[in-house]
Structure formats: C-alpha cells, structure tokens
Amino acid sequence: MNEKKADKLYRHSITVIKENQHKNGGFYASPPGTRYPYIYTRDHSIIALGALEAGLLKEVRRALEFILAAQKPSGEFSQRYDTDGVDTSYKDLQIDGNGLVLFALGKYYEVTKDDELCLEYWDVVKKAVEYILRHKNDEIDLIHTLNSIHEYPAYEHGFEIFANAACCAGIFEAVKIGKALDKDVREWEKEAKKVKNAIMMRLWSPRLRSFIKNIRIKHQNSKPLGYDPYASVVTDVDAAEYAPAYFGLIDDEDIRVVSTARRIHRALWDEELGGLNRYPEYWGRNNGGYGPWPHFTLQLARHFINIGDEDMAERYLSWCVEIAYEYLLPEHISTIERFEFWLESYQNANILTDKKLVMIEGIKQHPKWKDGFAYVTTPLIWPHAEYIRTYNLWLRTFR
C-alpha cells in the first residue's frame, strides 16, 4: 500500500468531515450542491463515530445535540433532516436510525463520560429505546423494519439483520449509559439480550455458515408469522450481514463472523474493479451502475484487521486509497458499460426520476469518466468516516 497516500487520505478525511458539519451540528451526507445535501440519521451517526475516532469531541457533541433534539414525537429518528433539524424524509421508517443514534451516543459517552449531555437528553434516549421495543415482535424477538441500510424494502422489509444489530447494540449502549446514571434499565437489558439471542439463532444459517439478510414479513404483528403474506427468508449474500460484528455484538474472531466475511468476500469482491459490492447485481437497484462501495469495503477491512489477516486488510484498505480521487471518496464506482446497462434498464422501465438525472450529470462530469470509470456521488462523507476508523485500527494493529 502507498502509505504516504494512505496517510494523506486520513488527514484529508478529517478535513472533509469538519468541512461538512453545518454550524447547527448536522453532518451533511454529501456537501451542499451535491446529491445528498441533508442530514441523514444513518450517515450522520456513522460520521459522528468517525469524528470520535479522530478525537473531534466538540464536533461529536454538537452532532449528538443536533440529532437528539430532532427526534420525532413518537420517538423515531427520521430518514433525514434539513440543517435546522426539520424532518424532510421521503422514505418510510428506517428503524436502524434509532439504534445508530443510541450507538453513537454510547460510544461518545464511553470516551467522554459526558453525564451532562446524557442527563439532558435522557427522555430522548428513553423514547428512542421504547420506540425500538414497540417494533419488536415477541414471537420471534426481532425488530421489524420497512427499510434498512440500503433503503430497499424489496429485500429489507421484515426482520433485517443490519437494523436488528443496530437496534440491539443501540439499546445495549443506552443500558450502559443508564447504569452509569443510576437509572433502572433492567427491562431494556433483558429485551436487548432477547434480540441478540434471536439474531444469533434466527438470522444465522448453519448450512450456509453465514448470517443471513432478512426474514421477510409484511406485518410486524402477524401472528402466527407463518401466515404473513410475505413470509419467506432472504439468504442472499449482502455486505450488511457483517453487522453483528460491526456493532460489537459478536467478536470478529468468532467462526460465525469469519465464515460470513469469507462468503461476503467470495461473492461480492469485484473481480474487475476491486473493492466490495454491497449486494448481488441481480437485486437490480444499481443506481449509476453496479460496482464496489468504499464504505462497505472499509467495514470488512476492519474485520480482516481484527483477525490479524494483514494481507486481506491491506488489499481492502489500499483499494480505497487507490480509488480516492484527489483524496475524496465516492459513494461507489462503476464502469461505463455497467453504467450504460443500468441507464438503459431504468429508461426502458420508465423509472428514471429527476434526482437520478442529476446524479447522471455528476457521473459524466467527473474527471474519471474519461478514464472509463463512473464515480457516483463524490464525495460521500460516510466512507471518509469509515476510513478514519479503519486506518487508525490498521495503524494500531500492524504498525
């Protein structure tokens, strides 16, 4: 790996994160004037984790204050907000957002022991946990969601692994904070343990030796679940199946994580471009052309670092360093041919929206287009946060 470049990308990632925090505390998902100039709860929380890793404690506090204050009356955190914390969602419930906010707050608290912030927002924490638990199905002990990390209900509506891991880990973090603040959180702990057990049992396939994506169920309260109109299981490989380890519910060295990561690598490593795809191409929602995503590549890089596989860790990490254009990371990259194939399919199906036309313009105007690459949404801030977290871990482990 070009370590000089890797180091420069680390420094630049910190700058990118700082520059993309609005004065009100929200982290843009992508800079103003680009594709996602809003504060998306999921991206915002993960960017806060990246900022925390970089030691930007004041920035993280502001980010947490922003998002905690933006909670909806029901206890839900929206898909996205404007810079004033006003809900501007256009998608249905994404309950992993609740888990991620609690998870980020817990990690911040672990570092700072900021009792003042947690006490001030304790009611918000309480409502966030209760909101998650209202979506728990007691027959299966898993959390029901309509969307998750890919915002793709066709594969995520039901009891999905990323949402469940995020919510479960989020409640555990709330429990830790609650205990430190002398609150009675025994019931939450009991419920979180149930969800964790259910993830390990129901979202694990011994035959595939892998965590699986989703138990597809339409209605949270279908009882018995077997009669639900969607009742089925999605066992397709998805980078999100690494979520139980990503959220610390299980160690990276655990054989279940090792074999899940192996399956993800075999199925989703892009042989033509390098890097990790997020899910199989045939799922069909490949905006801008099918191709690898830096932030999923970096998540799995951390797995390889954690199990001491230096070669694989470097293969994953260095790919991100190499594809960064002027030290900026895109959402994902693709080839011109794949881009054209995607465009044709969306045009023929008459599902090309205005927002996609803006994205297409951005892809074609990117300097890498002339080299034969489609760079989709550059920069996306999320991969910069993942890069900070991964590069630091790599340095600590191997240098």
Partner 1 sequence: MVKTKTLVKVILIGVIEMSNRMGAQALYDWLQAIGERLGEMEGKGMEGVKCGDLHYEPLCPLATLLDIEHYYDVLPKSADEYPICKIDRGADKPACADIICIIHHAYLRKRAELAGKKFFHLAAKSPTTGEIVFNEEAIKAVGKNKDEIKALMEEKAVCVFMYK
Stretch that binds partner 1, among 51-59, 67-75, 116-124, 135-143 (CB under 8 A): 67-75
Q: Are the C-beta atoms of residues 24 and 32 closer than 8 Å to each other? A: no
- Say which DSSP state 167 is in: H
Stretch that binds partner 1, among 74-82, 114-122, 173-181, 270-278 (CB under 8 A): 74-82
**From 104-112, 180-188, 288-296, 351-359, span contacting partner 1 (CB under 8 A):** 351-359
Rounded Cα distance, 101 and 250, in Å: 20
Work out whether the CA dihedral 143, 137, 241, 258 comes out positive or negative. positive
Binding mask 154-173 for partner 1 (x = CB under 8 A): --------------------
- Comparing CB distances to partner 1, the nearer of 182 and 354 is 354
Residue of 3, 84, 138, 139 that binds partner 1 (CB under 8 A)? 84
CA 39 from centre of chain = 14
Quick check: 16 and 355 in contact, CB under 8 A?
Answer: no
Smallest separation (angstroms) from partner 1 to the CB of 2? 41
User: How many residues at the interface with partner 1, by CB under 8 A?
Assistant: 15
Sequence-distant (6+) residues with CB within 8 A of 206 are none
Name the residue type at position 340. E
Q: Hey, which bits of 83-194 come out as E strands?
A: 136-137, 142-143, 159-160
- Alpha-carbon gap, residue 280 to 295, rounded angstroms: 16
Smaller CB separation from partner 1, 228 or 270:
228
Taking the complex as a whole, the smallest distance from the CB of residue 83 to partner 1 amounts, in Å, to: 12
- Is 87 a residue that touches partner 1 (CB under 8 A)? yes
**Rounded (5°) CA angle 197-101-33:** 135
Task: Please tell me whether residue 83 binds partner 1 under the rule CB under 8 A.
Answer: no
Contact status: 223 vs partner 1 (CB under 8 A): no
Cβ 271 to partner 1 shortest distance, Å: 38
Q: Does 90 bind partner 1 (CB under 8 A)?
A: yes
Cα 380 to Cα 399: distance, rounded to the nearest angstrom: 28
Query: Which of residues 182, 354, 370, 396 is near partner 1 by CB under 8 A?
Result: 354
Question: Which residues are within 8 A (CB) of 2 and not within 5 positions of it... i.e. 6 or more apart?
Answer: 318, 321, 322
Among 13, 20, 30, 89, binds partner 1 (CB under 8 A): 89
Give me the residue label for tokens 């920035």.
Answer: 59
Q: Does 224 bind partner 1 (CB under 8 A)?
A: no
Does residue number 72 form part of the binding site for partner 1 (CB under 8 A)?
A: yes
**Interface residue list for partner 1 (CB under 8 A):** 72-74, 78, 82, 84, 86-90, 229, 353-355
